[in-house]
Amino acid sequence: MIKLLFWIVLLAVVAFMLGFKRGRPEAPTPRREAPPAPPAPAGPESMVRCAECGTHLPASEALPGRGGAFCSTEHRSAHEARLESSRGDRT
pTM above 0.85, yes or no: no
Helix (H) or strand (E) holding 16: helix 2-23
Q: Give me the pLDDT at residue 60, please.
A: 93
Residue 30 to residue 26: CA distance in whole angstroms: 12
pLDDT digits (tens, 9 = 90+) for 51-68: 999 999 999 999 999 889
pLDDT digits (tens, 9 = 90+) for 7-53: 999 999 988 888 766 666 666 677 778 888 888 777 889 999 999 99
Q: How many residues are present in the chain?
A: 91
Q: For strand 63-65 and strand 47-49, is the pairing parallel, antiparallel, or unpaired?
A: unpaired
- What are the domain boundaries of the chain? 47-90
Give the Cβ contact number of residue 77 at 10 Å: 13
